[in-house]
């Protein structure tokens, strides 16, 4: 085949899936960390070393907690070593037991943190318009064993917190939010972090604000915050007094130093994410069957994820075919959160029939394509990524033939 026609600004080139040279020499990742001001970070690390206070609720962690609490407008922030441990501690501290209802359409940590402590995750379907847990589905799954609900603010877009609060109040349940994606986002003018009994942020390297590894639980409940502080530090109240069952969930000082540096850089990160989202939006406008998730302009949003939905009926290629095309060109686009937690172990074995009640989860997880963004991606790069997709859809038959040949052991894409 001759070189492909490539509308847009990049010069015409042949897709790698069809034998061309990959568009990017190095992998272009979803989740490439934003670094912030290296000098500022190094200065903080130097201070930490001079002070010889490396972990155990040191001054940098306390400053990080205060900055998070101030930004969210919440009374307490308890920083942890990562969001998975923060979820485990939050679930235990609120008294979850028996069964807890959560979406299957989430990162598997939301469910693992329940299963890890012998609580049964009960998977509810999502609203396909928001990708968030469907309150009506939650209500149908409540049994005498249900103790709580976990809502996940997927892509930083808030759950229907009002409906979930109403269900919880009527059934005597506790709501915890997995807000791993939602630091810096608001709901009805109120910052996420203020809903439910408590909310959990992730500060993993790939997140909007990153502390290498890290997480935090935020809450307005004094007693709950105190309990979680104890649980994070083996239950110690003094030098040798243990007052609670605990574990080691502490955030090291160096992680908090990165967290502070990342908080300082937040405005620039949002600006880059917004610019990329807008470039993707314009470039995708006339592509049939591919829609970008839009986020409300009246709320605050971090735009950390660029999420496209590929409609296999109207787009000439399926989501998975596009993923293969992009990967061949070194664009490591992701299909979060395929196949949903219920399709992963141990849930697939423990709950083999769960999928039957999750048609929207199934459909959304087969359509979503998450694309690279962040400060390491410029508009030209976004344009090239979209041009790869456009070129592929313009010669879909040829692409499909190449994929079939590769699958049958021919040329590897
Ligand atoms: N709840 C929800 C809803 C979550 O999404 C997550 C985490 C959690 C809870 C648990 O939070 P943590 O316990 O992690 O704090 C990534 C992240 O590792 C994970 O934190 C995140 N969600 C999830 C959505 O994405 P993976 O396994 O898909 O990707 P990973 O970590 O290998 O990174 C993606 C790509 O980014 C890599 O292929 C390369 C690039 N990368 C990554 C790192 C870490 C870099 O270029 N540099 C790096 O330092 O999970």
Each residue's pLDDT tens digit, 5-16: 444 434 457 999
Sign, Cα dihedral of 188, 71, 164, 178:
positive
- The pLDDT score that the predictor gives to residue 312 is 87
d(CA 296, CA 155): 12
Both 70 and 179 in a single domain? yes
- The pLDDT score that the predictor gives to residue 2 is 33
Both 297 and 363 in a single domain? yes
Both 62 and 93 in a single domain? yes
The total number of structural domains in the chain stands at 2
Q: What are the tokens at 346? A: 């141990």
- The pLDDT score that the predictor gives to residue 207 is 98
Sign, Cα dihedral of 222, 224, 178, 382:
positive
Give the residue among 337, 339, 283 at the shortest CA–CA distance from 305.
337
d(CA 17, CA 412): 8
Tell me which of 264, 291, 308 is where a domain ends: 264
In a domain, 310, yes or no: yes
Which H or E run includes 29?
strand 28-29
Residue 32 in contact with ligand 1 by CB distance below 6 A: yes
Instruction: Identify the domain containing residue 224 by its residue range.
Output: 38-264
Contact 105, 337 (CB under 8 A): yes
| C-alpha radius of gyration, the chain, whole number | 22
Three-state DSSP at 368 gives strand
Both 235 and 92 in a single domain? yes
Both 221 and 296 in a single domain? no
Say which residues have a Cβ less than 8 Å from residue 409's Cβ, sequence separation at least 6: none
Both 92 and 227 in a single domain? yes
Say which residues have a Cβ less than 8 Å from residue 206's Cβ, sequence separation at least 6: 30, 31, 32, 33
d(CA 413, CA 402): 8
In a domain, 33, yes or no: no
The angle that helices 59-72 and 38-51 make with each other, rounded to 10 degrees, is 130
Q: What is the per-residue DSSP string for 97-135? A: -SEEEEESSS-THHHHHHHTTTPEEEEEPB-TTT-SB-H
Contact 311, 291 (CB under 8 A): yes
Sign, Cα dihedral of 332, 336, 338, 343:
positive
Give 272 Cα–ligand 1 centroid separation in angstroms. Answer: 20
In a domain, 71, yes or no: yes
- The pLDDT score that the predictor gives to residue 6 is 40
In a domain, 156, yes or no: yes
In a domain, 413, yes or no: no
**152 CA: nearest ligand 1 atom:** 3
- The pLDDT score that the predictor gives to residue 7 is 41
Both 300 and 332 in a single domain? yes
> Which residue matches tokens 């069952």?
245
- The pLDDT score that the predictor gives to residue 194 is 98
In a domain, 94, yes or no: yes
In a domain, 31, yes or no: no
Residue 205 in contact with ligand 1 by CB distance below 6 A: yes
Both 246 and 276 in a single domain? no
pTM of the model: 0.95
Mutate to test the pocket of ligand 1, among 31, 180, 337 (most ligand atoms within 8 A of CB): 31
Tell me which of 237, 264, 291 is where a domain ends: 264
Tell me what percent of the residues of the chain surpass a pLDDT of 70.
Answer: 96
Both 250 and 327 in a single domain? no
- The pLDDT score that the predictor gives to residue 411 is 53
Both 302 and 253 in a single domain? no
For atom 22 of ligand 1, the residue with the nearest CA is 107
Three-state DSSP at 400 gives helix
- The pLDDT score that the predictor gives to residue 111 is 98
Residue 374 in contact with ligand 1 by CB distance below 6 A: no
Long-range contacts of 285-291 (CB under 8 A, 24+ apart): 287/315, 287/386, 287/389, 287/390, 287/393, 288/314, 288/315, 288/316, 288/393, 289/313, 289/314, 289/315, 289/316, 289/393, 290/315, 290/389
Mutate to test the pocket of ligand 1, among 81, 180, 185 (most ligand atoms within 8 A of CB): 180
Residue 406 in contact with ligand 1 by CB distance below 6 A: no
Give 119 Cα–ligand 1 centroid separation in angstroms. Answer: 24
321: domain CATH number?
A: 3.90.1150.10
Residue 384 in contact with ligand 1 by CB distance below 6 A: no
Q: Judging by beta carbons within 10 Å of its beta carbon (0-12, 13-18, 19+), is residue 240 exposed, middle or buried?
A: exposed
250: domain CATH number?
A: 3.40.640.10
Contact 220, 78 (CB under 8 A): no
Both 66 and 182 in a single domain? yes
Which residue positions in the chain have pLDDT lower than 50? Answer: 1-11, 413
Tell me which of 264, 282, 304 is where a domain ends: 264
Contact 371, 280 (CB under 8 A): yes
Both 152 and 247 in a single domain? yes
Give the residue among 159, 163, 128, 112 at the shortest CA–CA distance from 347.
112
In a domain, 256, yes or no: yes
């Amino acid at each position: 085949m001759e070189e492909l026609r490539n509308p847009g600004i990049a010069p015409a080139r042949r897709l790698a899936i069809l034998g061309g040279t990959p568009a990017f020499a190095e992998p272009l990742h979803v989740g490439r960390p934003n670094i912030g001001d290296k000098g500022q970070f190094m200065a903080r690390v130097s201070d930490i070393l001079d002070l010889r206070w490396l972990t155990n609720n040191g001054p940098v962690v306390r400053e990080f907690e205060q900055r998070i609490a101030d930004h969210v407008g919440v009374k307490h922030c308890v920083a942890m070593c990562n969001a998975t441990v923060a979820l485990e501690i939050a679930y235990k501290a609120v008294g979850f037991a028996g069964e807890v209802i959560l979406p299957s359409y989430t990162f598997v940590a939301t469910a693992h943190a329940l299963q890890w402590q012998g609580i049964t995750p009960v998977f509810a379907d999502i609203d396909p318009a928001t990708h968030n847990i469907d309150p009506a589905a939650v209500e149908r799954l409540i049994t005498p064993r249900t103790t709580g609900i976990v809502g996940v603010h997927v892509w930083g877009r808030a759950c229907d917190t009002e409906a979930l609060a109403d269900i919880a109040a009527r059934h005597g349940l506790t709501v915890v939010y997995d807000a791993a994606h939602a630091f810096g986002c608001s709901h009805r003018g109120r910052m996420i972090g203020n809903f439910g009994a408590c909310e959990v942020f992730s500060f993993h390297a790939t997140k909007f604000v990153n502390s290498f590894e890290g997480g935090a639980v935020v809450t307005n409940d004094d007693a709950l915050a105190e309990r979680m502080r104890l649980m994070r530090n083996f239950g110690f109240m003094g030098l040798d007094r243990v007052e609670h069952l605990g574990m080691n969930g502490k955030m090291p000082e160096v992680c908090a130093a990165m967290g502070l540096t990342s908080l300082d850089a937040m405005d620039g990160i949002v600006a880059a994410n917004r610019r990329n989202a807008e470039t993707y939006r314009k470039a995708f406008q006339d592509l049939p069957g591919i829609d970008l998730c839009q986020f409300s302009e009246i709320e605050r949003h971090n735009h950390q994820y660029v999420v496209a939905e590929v409609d296999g009926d109207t787009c000439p290629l399926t989501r998975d075919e596009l993923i293969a095309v992009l990967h061949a060109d070194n664009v490591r686009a992701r299909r979060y959160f395929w196949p949903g937690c219920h399709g992963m172990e141990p849930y697939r074995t423990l709950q083999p029939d769960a999928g039957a009640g999750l048609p929207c989860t199934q459909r959304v997880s087969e359509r979503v394509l998450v694309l690279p963004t962040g400060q390491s991606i410029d508009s030209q790069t976004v344009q090239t990524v979209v041009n790869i997709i456009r070129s592929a859809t313009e010669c879909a038959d040829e692409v499909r033939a190449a994929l079939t040949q590769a699958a049958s052991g021919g040329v590897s894409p």
